A and B are shown apart, each in its own frame.
Chain A
Amino acid sequence: MTNCHSLFRIGRSLEQGKTMRKLFTIGIFALLTVVGCKKPFNPEAINGFSSALIVEGVINPSGVTNIYLSRTLDLDDKVVIKPEPKAVVQVLSENNTAVTLAEKTGGLYSIPALSLNSTQKYRLRIRTSAGVEYMSDALAVKNTPPIDKFYWERSPEGVGIYVDAQDSQNNTKYYQWDFEEDWEIRSIDSAKYSGVPGPMGGIAVVARDSKESALMFTCYKSQRSTNIDIFSTAKLSADVVSRHRVAFIPNISDKLSVRYSILVRQYALNFEAFEYLSMMKRNTEQLGSFFDAQPSELVGNIRNVSDKNDVAIGYIVIAPVLEKRLFITISDVPGWGFRLNCNTFPVKNDRDSLAVHFGPGAAYTPQYPVQNSAGGITHWTATPASCLDCRLRSGTNVKPAFW
């Protein structure tokens, strides 16, 4: 992959407050962008670094607390995540009373409700299955101001989704958001026929079971946010978050092909967590222009109690996690250009032609028959399978509970 045009980017916002260095992700000038080039770079992997623990999550003093534990991977590892199972995860109060989170699947440790006292400090304690104990710094309970407004707006490039929030006490200053998106997708037509193995190794087209047709017609997709979204109002005279864009749906995305929903979670950070996350963001999301800061090591607030050089990745805070959801239906965004690319063509209704196009694992599905004047089927129209089966577009049939 070569990209010779858009390697220069502009630091667009002041969300990092003090870290204005990112402003200097300078786009030089266009002539140079024409000649400058970005190319993949894959140095020999440096493996063999000892694996570190990753702790992700927010301790919610008044709701569900989810803590994810995982391990770092070597660069050439094929898996995306290596969960850390069988650990003991506890929230410790100042007088050492411990509340233990229950282990779920995939490295998730969860508790439906904690009731923490906002005048107290708490620590997170983790004992891994290998017996290594990690402890966080003592953490104060932060307050999170409510999401005042959660709304979307159409722009020429797509649909932006924004939050407004403010803290009249001027105490919050540092904000983080993440979100989950769910959307419905549909096939272009109900898949009424299917190619099934016929006599003598041939393929025959038969009517499909209507239940299966329904499953192929309507699906749901979901996605978690993939970027660290943080913002600071420290530089502003009021603790006001205005038109902060948390998500963006580019034009012709399938997210707005039927109906779309997004759940945003807002929580407050303290200054150190904000700095930590901005550094992580800078290291992993923002590099790529000539004047970027150099990447650097991260030091979080959870350490191995017996080896202070073993610092877990992640910065834990205690703050309420506030949620808001909105829905967008296709009729709200007239002229949304999503269209599946479904070129159909006729396939002769003979055994060999059908076998080529509609056999097991074939890329096409028979959509409807073409008949001659006598009513005999001469052809079947072949349609790309993904146009008639939404499950092939990585959709599932599990309808979200809130839908």
Chain B
Amino acid sequence: MKLIRNFILFISLLPCADVYAQQEPGVLSVDLKNATIKQLVSDIESKADFHFFYDARQLDSVRITVKIVSEPLAFILKKAFENTPVKFTIDPDRNVFLTRDKEIYASLPYGLFESEKDSSRIVNQKEPSTLATVYNQNEQGSVTSTQENKLVEIGIKTSEIQGGNVALAGYVRDAANGAPVIRAAVFTDAPRIGTYTDQFGYYSLILPRGAHTLNIKALGISDTKRRIMLYSEGKLDIEIKTQVLSLREVVVSAENSANVRNVQMGVEKLSIATIKQVPVVFGEADVVRVMLTLPGVKTVGEAANGFNVRGGAVDQNLILFDDLTIYNPSHFFGFFSAFNPDVVKDVELYKSSIPARYGGRLSSVLDVSSKDGNSRKLAGTAGIGLLTSRLNVEGPLIKDKTSFIVGGRTTYSNWLLRLLPEDSNYKDSKASFYDANVRLSHKINDKNNLYLTGYLSSDDSNLNSDTSYAYSNKNVSMKWKHVFSNKFTGVLVGGFSSYDYNTRSNINPVNAYKLGFDIKQVNVKTDFTYYLSPKHTLDFGVSTIQYKLNPGSFTPYAKESLIVRDIIAPEQAYESAVYFGDRFDLTSNLSLDLGLRYSMFNYMGPQSINNYAPGLPRSEPNLLGSTDFKKGDIVKTYHGPEMRFSARYQITEDLSVKSGYNTLRQYIHVLSNTAAMAPTDIWKLSDPNIKPQFGDQVSLGLYKNFKSNTIETSVEGYYKRLKDYLDYRNGAVLVMNHDIERDVINTQGKAYGVELLVKKLTGKLNGWLGYTYSRTLLRMDDPTAAQLINNGEYYPSNFDKPHDLTLVGNYRFSHRFSMSLNTTYSTGRPITVPVGKYFYAGSLRARYSGRNQLRIPDYFRTDVSMNIEGNHKIHQLTHSSWTVGIYNLTGRDNPYSTYFTSEKGVIKGYRLSVFGNAIPYVNYNIRF
């Protein structure tokens, strides 16, 4: 701790307040025998107003014996340190710097400060510009820099700085636990050259030789900088300190000013610290729910599974957890997301410019990264909430080389269900879920890292002892990162993802059944990054996914059951892609991000494909026959290019304009005709009768920061087209349908909108305010559809909610106490309502008209929460915190859906709300 304190002193150079009266100015007396540096320093500091700065670790072996009366300090120190490696420097402000072996110069050389900087002078400088050469060189030759004001020399030292550019690369890590810092911006101010660390914390820059100040900015860390003297190509690992506990700022975007400078548009990044501050139902920190507070991200309602990005359907989001595809990111039918907040590091959502390395979904990419285990010491967290408990342990297996993190979360709602009154229908119900995560990180050497991630989530609910629903995600991936050179890195990922569900019922043994579905994918991909020059960064790679899908099995679930075993033939396919991208700085103001992806989809045998008469509705009368394909046959191939283009023009330092154009293809679809996505919706691969979906989007945005980048504002507009989106015939049957193509209709869609966002990143009061105006309209234009929904006119999609306003705010009263507020307003979503009534089969019934012609009442909700930290004493066994909050403070019963039904011959309309009351919650968390 002494070290840290000294560092802090060193960094801040705080003048000391207390000045001692001196016996005689300038001279003093010392008499020490075999003393430590500490004893020497305290002796001198007690006698004169000198202030010593040193690294206790470096000097703790030194012993000093000195006896001097009334001499100047310089003389005393010179005597004292004779025959020791200790060097000293005294500056005019009476600060004394003690170093080992190498001396500190108390005046600074040219070139360190911009005002003095003049490249010709640097080149002509005869004196070595070394100021300090305090660094730790490890055995691999890379330099680890932990201190801001140290000058770090990199490369083979030359007496003259040569011209030309060289590559500098390394890792940015958290000093506390060795975890990589992802998407940290690493940049120099002049010239403006910058990059971001990748998912491993790795960065690479091409810089002119000479002195630079490297700025490092990232989510959840204090901004910091490093002074470097770059002689030739070299490595610099940077260790930075995260902000501690609630001292940590709410940082919404990856970097201050990144929104202005970054070429990409529509990228939102949230750290888990921010996510945990936003109040959520039952206090269960929820990655997906918090995403919904961002402009352009919507949901059908509280019980909805998933989210809608810029008018896209729920299945158009690619949800990745450490490069693994998660097919159902929710627990409890969509009430909670399936990501354990304690193992999540951060979450990134791409809603507009989707980098070329991603593909396969039309609307967005939600990239959830898990934490690396603490590589320095064993640590953990635990939390207790109303519905769930969490435990998470992390630590090193081999210190600074191999670390692990293991997390688990489970519910005890079964216990709550049992508390229900005897006459309640839910007495015999069972509802359980759990998820488990494991991640191993292993550093083979400086050039090779291995990562292993495993993820499992499972739900099993039996309601009213009738029908049981169970579903599960299982994922595992292995990732190998290799550094070819400072300029060239590569990642190889192999993974396996699976999702399955089943529903079971045995209330009537004759009809007892089990219905099952599963999808498995194996994927392999490589991503390479080549830092060609300061102006070009190239990304390229290939990927392939093998899908294996069991679309449905319907089997007897009791001996007496008469259910006929019915199994829909499995589907299999390959989805492959190759991509290339270039981040290109045309001028210092104009940057381009050009990407091209070519994707190909092969639907494979064995399979039997129905052939329909061309141009006629795909229905039984038009069935011509079917074609059988054998195992290994390619049944159908779809392929095509995808463009990813974005550009940024920086008008001033804090004002920029960006635009982008994206095209995407999607070969796998969710089949669902419920209002919300249900956990039992099934996925379907494109086949000869079901075309892939195609989408493109143009977007334009203006970004302006105020008050030295502490307030960010942006306006983004977009227009999006969807082609061959799947909608359903009225009354379509999607489960266990052997001829599903007869019930789906190709639909066109268009979506457009404007998103406004104001973010305040720092200070006691922080948060964001977002407003979105957006429309999503669909139109059936399939000539082969027998009956077009709404006669082929445009109709609003289920999640068309034109106005949406969200305020997320946090106020920090003290380091231990903060309050958060979340307020949301949106237009009610469209519903189909009756236009009349009629009497049939003994009841009055509602007559429905076209789809989605009316809206449910508008949605409004306010949540508040308080975060209370335990004391911040660093030496205690555990640190605890409380989160207390109220979800839906005003108790407004926001309708989730409406329905009309005939009851005893009378038509009644009802609206359902999920949370019709204010819901208080409390969570207790400990860290150890």
Interface residues of B in 691-745 (CB under 8 A from A): 730-731, 733-737
Distance A291 CA – B333 CA, assembled complex (angstroms): 10
When chains A and B are docked, how far (Å) is the Cα of A291 from the Cα of B429? 19
- Check: A258 CB closer than 8 A to any chain B CB: no
Task: Tell me the complex Cα distance, A152–B909, Å.
Answer: 34
Number of A-B contacts (CB under 8 A): 279
Among residues of B, the one whose C-beta sits closest to the C-beta of A9 is: B464
**Which residues of B are found within 8 Å of A275, using beta-carbon distances?**
731
Q: Distance in Å from the Cβ of A21 to the closest Cβ of chain B?
A: 6
Cα separation A330 to B588 with both chains bound (whole Å): 94
Mask: chain B, 837-881; 1 = CB below 8 Å from A; 0 = not: 111111111111111011000000000000000000000000000
Q: Is B836 a contact partner of A75 (Cβ separation < 8 A)?
A: yes
Binary per-residue interface labels of chain B (890-918) against chain A in the complex, 1 for a CB within 8 Å, 0 otherwise = 00010111111110110111111111110
Q: Are B562 and A31 in contact (CB under 8 A)?
A: no
Contact residues on A (Cβ < 8 Å of other chain), bracket: 35 or more
Q: Does A80 lie within 8 Å of B844, measured CB to CB?
A: yes
Does B452 sit within 8 A of A, measured CB to CB? no
Interface hit among A208-216, A219-227, A336-344, A368-376: A219-227
- Interface residue? B485 (CB, 8 A): no
A120 at the binding interface (Cβ < 8 Å) = no
Partner of B907, one of A7, A75, A242: A75
Main DSSP-derived SS at the A contact region: loop
B589 at interface by CB-CB < 8 Å: no
Pairwise interchain contact A21-B735, C-beta atoms closer than 8 A: yes
Instruction: Assess whether B416 is interfacial by the CB under 8 Å rule.
Output: yes
User: What sequence of 0s and 1s flags, for each residue 285-301 of chain A, a beta carbon within 8 Å of any chain B beta carbon?
Assistant: 11111111111111100
Tell me the bound Cα distance from A226 to B730 in angstroms.
Answer: 24
Question: Which residue of the partner chain, among B413, B675, B676, B678, contacts A31 with CB atoms under 8 Å?
Answer: B413
B387: chain A residues within 8 A (beta carbon): 31
Chain B residue numbers with a CB within 8 Å of A237 are: 562-564
A24 to B909, CA, bound (A): 21
**Which chain A residues numbered 22 to 60 have a C-beta less than 8 Å away from chain B?**
23-24, 26-33, 35-43, 46-47, 49, 51-52, 54, 56
| C-alpha gap A56/B842 in the complex (Å) | 10
Residue of A with least CB distance to B418: A30
Is B332 a contact partner of A28 (Cβ separation < 8 A)?
Answer: yes
- Do B737 and A18 have beta carbons less than 8 Å apart? yes
User: Please, what's the 1-or-0 string for B417-435, where 1 marks a CB less than 8 Å from any CB in chain A?
Assistant: 1001000111001010000
Q: Does the CB pair B840–A54 fall under 8 Å?
A: yes
- Bound together, the chains give a CA A248 to CA B335 distance in angstroms of 35
Contact across chains for B893 and A37 when beta carbons are under 8 A apart:
yes
Q: How far is the CB of B528 from chain A (nearest CB, A)?
A: 44
Q: Which A residues are CB-close (under 8 A) to B911?
A: 38-41
Pair A12/B466 contact, Cβ less than 8 Å:
yes
* Complex interface residues of chain A between 52 and 93 (CB less than 8 A to chain B): 52, 54, 56, 70-75, 77, 80-81
Which of A131-139, A186-194, A276-284, A386-394 sits within the interface? A276-284
B915–A75 CB distance below 8 A: no
Cα of A10 to Cα of B508 in the assembled complex, Å: 14
> Is B919 on the interface with A (CB-CB < 8 A)?
yes
Interface residues of B in 137-154 (CB under 8 A from A): none
Q: B841 to chain A: which residues have CB within 8 Å?
A: 56, 178, 225-228
B854 touches A52 (CB 8 A): no
The answer to whether A399 has its CB under 8 Å from any CB of chain B is: no
Nearest-neighbor residue (CB-CB) of A225 within chain B: B842
Give the distance in Å from the alpha carbon of A285 to the alpha carbon of B469 in the complex: 23
Indicate if the CB atoms of B736 and A18 lie closer than 8 Å.
yes
Partner of A296, one of B416, B730, B853, B854: B730
Asked if B420 contacts A28 (CB within 8 A), the reply is no
* Closest A residue by C-beta to B469: A26
Map CB proximity to A onto B464-482 as digits: 1 under 8 Å, 0 otherwise. 1011010000000000000
Q: Given B426, B737, B848, which contacts A33 in the complex, CB threshold below 8 Å?
A: B426
Question: Which residues of chain A are near B837, meaning CB under 8 Å?
Answer: 72-75, 77
Closest to A223 in B: B842
Q: Let me know if B834 is at the binding interface, CB within 8 A.
A: yes
Q: Of B417, B676, B897, which is within 8 A of A29 by CB?
A: B417
Residue A362 at the chain B interface, CB threshold 8 Å: no
Instruction: Judge whether A36 and B912 touch: CB under 8 Å.
Output: yes
- With an 8 A cutoff between CB atoms, is B463 at the interface? yes
Interface string of A120-151 (1 = CB under 8 A from B): 00000000000000000000000000000000
Closest residue of chain A to B560 (Cβ to Cβ) is A242
Residue numbers in A under 8 Å from B912 (CB-CB):
7, 36-38, 288-290
Name the distance in Å between A113's Cβ and chain B's nearest Cβ: 24
Counting contact residues on chain B (CB < 8 A from A), the size range is 35 or more
Chain B hits for A41, CB < 8 A: 895, 898, 909-911
With CB as the reference atom, state the residue of chain A lying closest to B431. A29
| Chain B positions within 8 Å of A43 at CB level | 833, 854, 898, 909
**Which residues of chain A are near B833, meaning CB under 8 Å?**
43, 46
A287 touches B899 (CB 8 A): yes
Residue A154 lies at the interface, judged by CB distance under 8 Å to chain B: no
Q: B674 interface residue, CB < 8 Å from A?
A: yes
Any B CB within 8 A of the CB of A8: yes
A6 proximity list for chain B (CB < 8 A)? 425
Q: Which of these binds chain A: B316-324, B510-518, B816-824?
A: B510-518
B463: chain A residues at CB < 8 Å are 8, 10, 26-29
- Docked Cα-Cα span, A298 to B834, in Å, equals 12
Nearest CB on B from A168, distance (A): 14
Point out the residues of chain B lying under 8 angstroms from A12, CB to CB. 466, 507
With both beta carbons as reference points, the residue of chain B lying nearest to A237 in the complex is identified as B564
Distance (whole angstroms) from the CB of A183 to the closest CB of chain B: 17
Q: Assess the B566–A235 pair: CB atoms within 8 A.
A: yes
CA–CA, A314 to B914, complex, Å? Answer: 35
B565's closest neighbor in chain A, by CB? A237
Residues of chain A within 8 A (CB-CB) of B787 are 299
A27 and chain B: residue at smallest CB distance:
B463
Chain A contacts for B835, CB-based, 8 A: 46-47, 49, 75
The yes or no answer to B503 lying at the interface (CB within 8 A) is yes
Cα–Cα, bound, A275→B730 (Å): 11
- In the bound complex, residues from chain B placing their C-beta under 8 Å from that of A40 are 908-911
| B residues less than 8 Å from A287 (CB atoms) | 899-901
- Most chain B CB neighbours (cut-off 10 Å) among A6, A31, A292: A31
Q: Is B36 an interface position by the 8 A CB rule? A: no
Q: Which residues of A contact B325 (CB under 8 A)?
A: none
Question: In this complex, which of A80, A290, A299 has the most chain B Cβ atoms within 10 angstroms of its Cβ?
Answer: A290
Specify which chain A residues have a CB less than 8 angstroms from the CB of B904 in the assembled complex.
226
B680 part of interface (Cβ distance < 8 Å): yes
Contact A28 B333 (CB under 8 A): yes
A55 to B840, CA, bound (A): 9
Instruction: Tell me, yes or no, whether A347 is within 8 Å of chain B by CB.
Output: no
- Asked whether, in the complex, the Cβ of A296 is within 8 Å of the Cβ of B919, the reply is no
Cα of A32 to Cα of B332 in the assembled complex, Å? 10
B673 to chain A, nearest CB (A): 5
Q: Are B733 and A18 interface neighbours, CB within 8 A?
A: yes
Q: Does A161 contact B (CB under 8 A)?
A: no
Provide the residues of chain B in CB contact with A27, threshold 8 Å.
425-426, 429, 463-464
Q: Which of A13, A32, A235 contacts B914 (CB 8 A)?
A: A32
| Known contacts A37-B913, A297-B850; is-contact A29 B332 (Cβ 8 Å) | yes
Task: Let me know if B508 and A30 touch, CB within 8 A.
Answer: no
Instruction: Point out the residues of chain B lying under 8 angstroms from A14, CB to CB.
Output: 511, 513, 563
B617 CB to closest chain A CB (Å) equals: 13
User: Does B28 make an interface contact (CB < 8 A)?
Assistant: no
Q: Is B554 an interface residue (CB 8 A)?
A: yes
Among B467, B566, B831, B913, contact of A23 (Cβ-Cβ < 8 Å) = B467
Task: Confirm or deny: A326 has a beta carbon within 8 angstroms of a beta carbon on chain B.
Answer: no
Known: A21-B735, A299-B787. A226 touches B469 (CB 8 A): no
Known: A23-B735, A236-B562, A290-B896. 10 other contacts (CB 8 A): A14-B511, A27-B429, A35-B917, A36-B915, A178-B841, A284-B901, A285-B843, A290-B676, A291-B303, A299-B730
4 closest cross-chain pairs (CB), A and B: A37-B916, A287-B899, A30-B426, A296-B730
A-B contact pairs, 10 of them (CB 8 A): A13-B511, A35-B917, A39-B910, A52-B847, A81-B844, A235-B563, A278-B731, A288-B901, A290-B897, A293-B731
